[in-house]
Every structure is written in C-alpha cells, then in structure tokens.
Chains A and B, each alone.
Chain A
Amino acid sequence: MTGARLALAELRARPGRATLTSVGLALVLLLALSVTALADGLVRGSTGVLRALDADVVVTDEAANHQLLRSRLVGAERTALLMRPDVATAGQIGLVPTSASVGGGAPERVTAVGFSPDAPAMPRDTVDGRLPRPGEPGSAAVDVALAGGDVVVGDTLSLAGEREVEVVGLVDDASFLQQPTVWLGQHDWARLRQAVQRDADYAEQLVGATVLQSTEHPEAVATAITEEHDELAVTTREGAVAAVPGVSAQQVTLGAVVAVTLAVAVGLAALIGVLQVLERRALLTALRAVGAPARTLLASVAVRGVLLWVGALIVSTAATVILATVAPPSVPMEVRPVIVASVGGISLVAATLGVTAAAWPILSRLDPQDAVAEEPL
C-alpha cells in the first residue's frame, strides 16, 4: 500500500528525526514494562511457595484467615479432610521465618518450609537433586535464589545459627514474601521452629496449613468444606495467593500505575500523531495537491507511528532486561515474555488509535490549495 511505502521511504531518508521520538516512546514503554515486571515480580516473589505446590485447595484455621504463616493446624484436620470423597490427597505444610547461611557465609533471611511427604505439600519440580526424604534428618532442599544463586547440592546450611543441614536439592521460583525458602522434613522443621519460636511446644509436629488435591472443582470443594467446618478457612490456591500479605494491595497499586503509564503512552502517541502531521504539513499538502487521498496519508502517518512503536518496544524491552539485571537484588523485577507481549500488544493497539485519532482531524482539513500559497500555519 502507498501509505506504508511513503512511511518507510521517509524513515529511511531521515532516520535522525525518528530517533528522538523513539527515545521518548521507549522511555514511556520502559516505564510501563518495568512497572509491570516489578508488579509481577513482587507478586511472584511473595507467592512462589503456593505456586510451587501441587495443591489446588488451601486450608488454614479460621483465625489465620488463609495466612500460611499464622495458621496453626496440626495433623488432625488433615486426617479428617482425607476422608472426604471430594479430596484426593492431603498434605501439611508449615512456615517459619528464620535466617540461613551457606557454608559459613553471611546469614540471610529465609522462610523455612516444613512439608509432609504427601504430593500436595511438595514442590512439583526440583531443578537439581531431590527433596529431603521422610526419616532423613539433616537434609534440605533450597531455593536457587539463596545466597544470591551461589548454592549447590552438597553445601551445608546453618539455620538460625543453630541447626546444620545438608543441601540435597534445589527448587526454583518458590520464594515467600520476597525471601528464599528452605524445604525441610517434618522432624527438622519442628526442631527449628522450637529453636526460633521458643514459646511453641509442638515437638515433631507440622504446625501450619493443610493443602489438598481435590477431585472436583477446587472452588466447589473449598465452599463445601467451609460450610461444614466453621473452624477452618478454606480457599483455592489462587485465593491463598491473593491473601498473601501485600499481594492484593500491590496488584491494585501497581495495576493503577501501569494503567496511568499506558494512558501516558496513548497521549504520547496522539502527540506524535499531531507533530508528525505538523512537521510534514507542507509535504502532506503537496501530496494532497498531486492527488493522494487523505486516507493514504493517514495510513502513512499511522504506519510510521506503528514502526516507531515497534522500534521503541524492542529498545525498551532490551532496556528493561538490562535494568532487571543491573538493579539491586532487592528489586524483584522479572521480565517474562508474557509481560512484554501483553504490554506491547495493548499499548500498540492503543497507540495506533491515538495516532490516528489525533492525526485525522488535521489531515482531513489539509487544503490542497495551500500547496501554492504561503507557508501553512
């Protein structure tokens, strides 16, 4: 089409003019991408434990209200729930905040996760090695994020400066509240909890939440259990993810920031549309005079805008990846392809509309007669 050819020819002839515009666009897109990546990273960093499990329903005590850290369920509920026809298997997990150091290095904050040897309570995958086996004290699987990623199978881990365990496996994307996790068997976990929370005296027990694999729709199962047990708070895994402290507030806040950033992008697209037409007004008027329909010119402006946008998107994606790499580890930015695709896609559609809507009123009013007159205003 003529419009596209015009746009390409101009971009080739005057690349400099496009560069600065692209930089502006790329920065706004960088903002949108990094906010989205940050929101995503924050939520994922807070909820890795829940996502790592092969469970679809999460049960806490009523007072804990879906909070894994606060739940104080012990084995009894698990046994009762296992009897239900809509529950396939059940496991028990417990979380305790503590600190860990690898091979005598500096201690860092971690969450120790105790798990019963049941499918729903175990991480689905290990990236290396295996999980500690039942009746194998002194072993742990750890998050690859521990010690800045410098942990391997065979390392020795000191927990809370009191208990030593050997790393037998690595799990990925299993953090909790931005802290790496250490996965322990029941015995080690209970001892650790006793050591760090001395007021607790449930030796040898996993105190925490019960996690289920249901045989029916998880939501229906959660509702059914809630109705029968008012001492329990039951929700789907997604519900438990949303209940993790800060997650819903972060989603609302950063979601709003992303929305505003996209609005900025659309406004910027409109501005670019206007400026493009104004900058080339003489040329466009001349083209109108030699018989190019306004629609062709609009297409050329829109195509040029889209090309700029795609260029800016590529640059900003690269910049976001670099930013995520050089940012301090406390910035939980994660650039996943799905984020680039969704931010890029949404903004591209919005931007095309913005450019077109802003350029059309000026373009459609260009008077071919002006080509022979004074410089247009």
Chain B
Amino acid sequence: MSETGVPGDLVIRADRVTKVYEDGERQVTAVDGVDLSVHAGELVALVGPSGSGKSTLLALLGALTVPTRGAVRLGDWDLGTLSEASRTRLRARHIGFVFQAANLVPYLTARDNVALAGELVGASRRASRREAEGLLVEMGLADRLGHLPGALSGGERQRVALARALLVGPRLLLADEPTASLDSDRAEQVMGLLAGAARAEGRAGVVVTHDPAVAAWADRVLWLHDSRLVVPDGGEERTVGEFSRG
C-alpha cells in the first residue's frame, strides 16, 4: 500500500538489523537481519507468531535497545552509536510509545501522566498540563483529567497513554499490542485515534499486533517469522485477508 500512496520523507530505517540476546550459555537471535523503512504519513503493522521477534524489533526501532549487528537510523541519527543518555533524550523528544500494559505511572493523574512527557523535554509544568488537557479532551477524556489510572477503564488508560505519546509531537509513534487487553469496540476506538495520529504531518507509526482487526488499520503489514521478515520490506506483501487466514 505504500506503493499506492505518495511516500513521504523517510522517518526510520533498519539495515540488516540483528539482535542477539545472551541468555546464560544460550544465544537467542530475536531479530535476524531485518531491513525496513517507514515513511512519513505511514502506519505499518508488524505481525507474527509469539516469540517471532516483534517486540524486539519495535524496541530496536524505538531506541529502547541497540542492535547487535546492522543499523537503525532515525533521521540523521544512527541509534546504535548513541550513548544511553542520548537515546533517552531522543526517546523523550522524537518517539511516542503506547505499550500493552502498565502504560501509566500509577500515582499520577491522567493529566499529570500526559504532562510528564512535556516536562521530560524541559517544558514548564503549567504549559505541559495545559497541552495535556487539550489532548485528553480530544481523546474524549474531558471528565477524566484528575483520575488516577486505577480509576480508569482499560480503553481510557490506553487513550491516556496515546495522549502522552503524542504530547511532544514525536516523529515516530510506536505501539506494542496496544489493544490486547481491550474488547473489540474499545480496540476500534483506540486504533482509530492511533492511526489518525500516526498519519499526522511528518510522522510515522509502527504497531505490533496479533489482531487482524488492528492490522487492518495499517497501510502495510509486515510479517515476522522466526526473527525474519517473511516477505522482505519492499517485496510483495500479503494482504490482510491472507494474514488472517494464517
């Protein structure tokens, strides 16, 4: 589908990226020589069986970890060469995350959870809170601003997490099973917001999922199997229908 639309600027690119975990004596190759490019305005879904390396690839794209071999480039940065501190700063400024669970700080209100993202890039608390409120209202959470995560429903929590991910206007939006613990109606609502946000001006999104209904929101679906892309990026891709048949 990337071929059908006009591809925007390249946002992130992986070159023969490999991640090997040392698990005691054993070496586990979680991601094996993956090539991948994601352009602005695009939402890519990563699908595959459990243990195929989806989360690990997402972690590599999100600078949560560094590749064992190969390179990941976000804009001008080669993520594997950055220091831990630079990667932390980079995540705060340029990458938004939505995780499956434990997405929010349990002792901060919805508003403060979102505002935190602003504070982490040095914005004032007041400005961050004001912007957070705006975003939460957009997410349909106007009456949940002062609630702690424990008092929110699963769908509300994921929307708060999405608001947090978007607050600083990141270039890359990454989500790992964002709807895994939601029913289908709520999943639809969250995915609608997420897909809209990922395609915003100059931004790209990658979402990891098991769920064909989630993958259906994506412009492209990439298949991981045994740590490799089944069809190389840029090759012929399976359709959502094929995916759902297994």
Residues of A within 8 A of B (CB): 372-377
Contacts and interface: CB of A to CB of B under 8 A. Distances in A.
Contacts of B154: 373-374
B157 A374 contact: yes
A375 B102 contact: yes
A375 B154 CA distance: 11
9 contacts: A372-B181, A374-B150, A374-B154, A374-B181, A375-B102, A375-B106, A377-B106, A377-B148, A377-B150
B102 A374 contact: yes
A374 B99 CA distance: 11
Contacts of A372: 181
B149 interface: yes
A218 to B, nearest CB: 65
A374 B101 CA distance: 6
Contacts of A375: 101-102, 106
Interface string B68-93: 00000000000000000000000000
Contacts of A374: 101-104, 149-150, 154, 157, 181
Nearest to A377: B106
A367 to B, nearest CB: 11
Contacts of B150: 374, 377
Nearest to B101: A374
A148 B160 CA distance: 73
A358 to B, nearest CB: 20
Interface string B97-114: 000011110110000000
Contacts of B107: 377
Given A374-B101, A374-B103, 15 more contacts: A373-B154, A373-B181, A374-B102, A374-B104, A374-B149, A374-B154, A374-B157, A374-B181, A375-B102, A375-B106, A376-B106, A377-B106, A377-B107, A377-B148, A377-B150
A334 B106 CA distance: 51
Interface in B118-153: 148-150
Contacts of B148: 377
A373 to B, nearest CB: 8
A294 to B, nearest CB: 20
A375 B157 CA distance: 12
With most chain B CB atoms within 10 A of its CB, the pick from A374, A375, A377 is A374
A376 B104 CA distance: 11
Contacts of B101: 374-375
A274 B154 CA distance: 27
Interface string B167-199: 000000000000001000000000000000000
Contacts of A377: 106-107, 148-150
Nearest to A375: B102
Contacts of B157: 374
B159 to A, nearest CB: 14
B100 to A, nearest CB: 10
Interface in B20-38: none
A374 B157 CA distance: 9
Nearest to B107: A377
Interface string B1-24: 000000000000000000000000
Contacts of B106: 375-377
Contacts of B103: 374
Nearest to B103: A374
Interface in B185-229: none
Nearest to B104: A374
Contacts of B104: 374
B105 to A, nearest CB: 10
Contacts of B102: 374-375
A376 B106 CA distance: 8
B211 to A, nearest CB: 18
Closest 6 CB pairs of A and B: A375-B102, A377-B106, A377-B150, A374-B101, A375-B101, A374-B102
Nearest to A370: B150
Interface string B151-165: 000100100000000
A178 B106 CA distance: 59
A372 B150 CA distance: 13
A375 to B, nearest CB: 4
Nearest to B102: A375
A12 to B, nearest CB: 18
A377 B104 CA distance: 10
Contacts of B181: 372-374
A33 to B, nearest CB: 39
A372 B101 CA distance: 10
A23 B101 CA distance: 35
B73 to A, nearest CB: 33
Contacts of A373: 154, 181
A375 B149 CA distance: 10
